[in-house]
């Protein structure tokens, strides 16, 4: 079996292929099928996100605006290659961070990127009905929800009831942090611990466990640095160990 990397279809090249298809009189279904044609395995999906983020943080993002025919092609259905469980923080625009266009990512956003019933059901939908190849739990620098989980129980008790429930899902990740004097480093460790915990919670869910076992998907983590624009990927088992 050939394990050589499959070059990612760059956004500009994808636009050219779509325009060529339109000129040839391709149907809307043909145009829709062009999207993500080069992303067919979890490894391809990881490379696509890594390459897209490299373009983003280096200032070379190339997501083209959709033309009329490309927009109409979206009506045929969606074929995202990855699902992302991300924080709702306004500084973390997921599609921009990975330099991906319409229909390429299936994004679930909730404060603290925590696993809850609605988010889990949404990810299960992505696996069963959209055939995604990858799930990424992405935390980020300066996460307010994780910072709240570091507060005292008395301070947390002052928060609204439903926010307390989110914080409660994060608390186990930060209760045994090693002593770190640098506040920024301590926050990074807390966020990454939370990412690891959410990844492992997902992996214990039946639908996700079966999809991973079959090779349909991988579940990985990521840490987005707001300042640099770079995503550190947590891919290997050692990276994801709780």
Provide long-range contacts, Cβ within 8 A and 24+ apart, for 102-106: 102/66, 102/70, 102/71, 102/74, 103/35, 103/36, 103/74, 103/78, 103/79, 104/35, 104/36, 104/80, 105/80, 105/81, 106/78, 106/80, 106/82, 106/130, 106/132
4-8, 168-172, 175-179, 234-238, range with the lowest pLDDT: 4-8
pLDDT digits over 162-206, tens only? Answer: 999 999 999 999 998 888 889 999 999 999 999 999 999 999 999
Q: What pLDDT does 178 receive?
A: 85
Would you list the DSSP string of 10-78? -HHHHHHHHHHHHHTT--HHHHHHHTTTT--SHHHHHHHHHHHHHHHHTT---PPPP-HHHHHHGGG--
Query: How far is the C-alpha of 111 from the C-alpha of 93, rounded, in Å?
Result: 13
Q: What pLDDT does 20 receive?
A: 67
Q: What pLDDT does 4 receive?
A: 39
Q: What pLDDT does 7 receive?
A: 40
pLDDT digits over 15-66, tens only? Answer: 566 556 656 666 555 655 555 567 899 999 999 999 999 999 999 998 766 6
Q: What pLDDT does 173 receive?
A: 95
pLDDT digits over 60-99, tens only? Answer: 998 766 677 667 767 777 889 999 999 999 999 999 999 9
Report pTM: 0.84
First to last CA, the chain: 33
Q: What pLDDT does 6 receive?
A: 35
Whole-number CA gyration radius for the chain: 19
Q: What pLDDT does 1 receive?
A: 38
pLDDT digits over 113-133, tens only? Answer: 999 999 999 999 999 999 999
Higher pLDDT, 37 or 100: 100
Query: How far is the C-alpha of 115 from the C-alpha of 108, rounded, in Å?
Result: 10
């Amino acid at each position: 079996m050939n394990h050589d990397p499959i070059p990612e279809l760059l956004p500009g090249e994808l636009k050219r292929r779509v325009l060529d298809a339109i000129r040839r009189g391709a149907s809307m279904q043909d145009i829709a099928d062009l999207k993500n044609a080069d992303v067919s395995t979890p490894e391809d999906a990881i490379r696509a996100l890594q390459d897209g983020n490299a373009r983003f943080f280096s200032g070379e993002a190339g997501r083209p605006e959709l033309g009329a025919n490309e927009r109409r092609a979206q009506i045929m259905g969606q074929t995202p290659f990855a699902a992302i469980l991300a924080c709702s923080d306004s500084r973390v625009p997921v599609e921009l961070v990975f330099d991906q266009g319409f229909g390429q990512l299936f994004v679930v956003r909730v404060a603290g990127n925590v696993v809850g019933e609605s988010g889990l059901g949404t990810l299960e939908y992505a696996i069963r009905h959209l055939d995604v190849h990858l799930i990424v739990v992405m935390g980020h620098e300066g996460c307010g929800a994780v910072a709240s989980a570091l507060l005292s129980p008395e301070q947390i008790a002052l928060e609204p009831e439903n926010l307390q429930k989110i914080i409660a899902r994060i608390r186990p990740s930060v209760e045994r942090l090693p002593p770190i004097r640098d506040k920024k480093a301590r926050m990074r460790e807390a966020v990454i611990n939370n990412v690891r915990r959410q990844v492992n919670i997902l992996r214990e869910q039946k639908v996700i466990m079966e999809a991973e076992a079959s090779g349909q998907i991988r579940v990985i983590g990521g840490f987005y640095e707001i300042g640099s624009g770079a995503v550190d990927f947590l891919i290997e088992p050692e990276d994801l160990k709780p």
